[in-house]
């Protein structure tokens, strides 16, 4: 089959987030399929954006064809981001015939977070015969914006997004969700008989994709281990949603052997560095981000790993954060402070789960992890590794993805 994946924000190991189109795409290629990813040349999620001379510039990555469309740059959620989105969608539609005739897709996957790209996918599909269109859900828009940012459902933008979401559920051939329980939301909107499949995010298992942790990580953690510290590490974005403020509050209550290492970047990094300085938190180190290929070996340097999130009603549809599965792959016990409809850490028996937004509970759980015998922490780590091998290996996810469109198997 020929797959055409429309993902505005698609990235790569070199460009940065988001990674799913490439990781899933290259496994589909290994299965004998052809994969083309249509993306905008500018995204706020990437560490580096491609520089292209013209629309529909092609770039090959691991057997996956990327096709870039030129879009305006932007830095934050403002009018310029909306202009970037509108430009991408306009160019998809304006070039729909050329896109179809160039790549002859059998399946078009609309996967740009927002639901507007479904109509663009359908316009491309209309130039062929029997081309199936799939809507892949990353976040539940517009509900995510309404519940996270307090926007009114009557806001014209929210009404427009709701209309686009309803259109997607009413007209596509299949919905695939990264989150486990979005079918509840779809049913609440009145679409009860829609073909639906949950295919989560995954991990790359092959060790050739892992690079050593950089010196700024290894040197700091080696120093802490020589001092007899238990290193509890967080790796990811420095944002409010990841509840690092609770982790820093917990630092004031941590038992003596536990030392926090926070690795990454983001809008609140400078603020967190200021808090560490002003409160003289000697048991906290904040270190620069690492590349995607260095993530596994960076995580493996630690003794335990922390992941948390603020409470939100959105998690009634589940969580599927990439770093949960990266943590499991690193074979380290996990301190998990998230309240959601699913709990992969509990399912895998690979760590300790606590309520979110509770610094005292974080401190107590960190102490428990540090006090566990090494053999017990290793058992937890191996449990996590087995879990992702079974449920989140991109090789297996690609097989399920392709099977969803294999008419011979239905």
**Exposed, middle or buried, 205 (CB in 10 Å: 0-12/13-18/19+)?**
middle
Residue 410 has pLDDT above 50, yes or no: no
Please state the domain extents for the chain. 2-202+393-409, 207-390
Share of the chain above pLDDT 70, in %: 99
pLDDT at res. 408: 43
Region 53-82 average pLDDT: 93
Convert the pLDDT of each residue in 264-290 to its tens digit: 998 899 999 999 999 999 999 999 999
Region 160-176 average pLDDT: 97
CATH number of 207-390: 3.40.50.2000
- Topology match between the domains 2-202+393-409 and 207-390: yes
pLDDT at res. 279: 96
Nearest by Cα to 335 from 221, 250, 220, 257: 250
Q: 355 is written with which tokens?
A: 């309520």
Q: Three-state secondary structure along 108-139?
A: EEECCCCCCHHHHHHHHHCCCCCCEEEEEECC
Residue 409 has pLDDT above 60, yes or no: no
Distance separating alpha carbons of residues 89 and 80, to the nearest angstrom: 14
Is domain 2-202+393-409 classified as CATH 3.40.50.2300?
no
- Mean pLDDT for the chain overall: 95
Of the pLDDT bands very low, low, confident and very high (cuts 50, 70, 90), residue 407 is low
Nearest by Cα to 131 from 98, 150, 108: 108
Convert the pLDDT of each residue in 339-361 to its tens digit: 999 999 999 999 999 999 999 99
């Amino acid at each position: 089959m020929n797959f055409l994946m429309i993902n505005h924000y698609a990235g790569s190991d070199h460009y940065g987030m988001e990674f799913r189109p490439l990781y899933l795409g290259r496994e589909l290629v290994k299965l004998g399929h052809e994969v083309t990813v249509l993306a905008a040349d500018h995204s706020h999620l990437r560490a580096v954006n491609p520089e292209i001379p013209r629309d529909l510039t092609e770039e090959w990555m691991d057997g996956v064809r990327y096709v870039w469309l030129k879009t305006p740059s932007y830095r934050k959620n403002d009018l310029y981001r909306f202009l970037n989105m509108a430009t991408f969608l306009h160019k998809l539609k304006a070039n729909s015939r050329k896109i179809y005739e160039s790549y002859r897709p059998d399946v078009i996957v609309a996967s740009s977070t927002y639901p507007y790209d479904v109509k663009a996918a359908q316009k491309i599909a209309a130039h062929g015969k029997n081309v199936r269109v799939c809507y892949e859900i990353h976040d539940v828009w517009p509900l995510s914006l309404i519940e996270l940012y307090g926007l009114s459902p009557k806001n014209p933008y929210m009404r427009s997004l709701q209309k686009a979401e309803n259109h997607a559920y009413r007209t596509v051939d299949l919905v695939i969700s990264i989150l486990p329980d979005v079918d509840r939301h779809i049913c609440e909107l009145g679409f009860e008989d829609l073909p639906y499949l949950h295919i989560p995010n995954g991990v790359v298992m092959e060790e050739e994709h892992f690079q050593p942790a950089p010196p700024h990580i290894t040197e700091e953690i080696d120093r802490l281990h020589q001092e007899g510290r238990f290193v509890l590490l967080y790796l990811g974005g420095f944002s409010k949603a990841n509840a690092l403020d609770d982790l820093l509050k917990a630092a004031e209550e941590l038992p003596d052997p536990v030392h926090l290492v926070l690795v990454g970047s983001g809008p609140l990094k400078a603020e967190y560095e200021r808090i560490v300085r002003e409160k003289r938190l000697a048991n906290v180190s904040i270190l620069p981000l690492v590349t995607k290929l260095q993530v596994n070996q960076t995580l493996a340097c630690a003794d335990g790993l922390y992941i948390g999130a603020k409470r939100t009603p959105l998690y009634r549809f589940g969580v599927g954060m990439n770093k949960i599965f990266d943590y499991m792959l690193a074979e380290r016990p996990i301190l998990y402070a998230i309240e959601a409809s699913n709990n992969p850490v509990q399912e895998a028996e690979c760590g300790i789960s606590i309520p979110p937004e509770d610094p005292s509970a974080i401190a107590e759980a960190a102490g428990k992890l540090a006090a566990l015998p090494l053999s017990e922490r290793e058992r937890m780590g191996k449990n996590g590794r087995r879990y992702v091998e079974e449920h989140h290996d991109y090789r297996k996810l690609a097989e399920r993805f392709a099977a969803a469109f294999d008419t011979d198997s239905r």
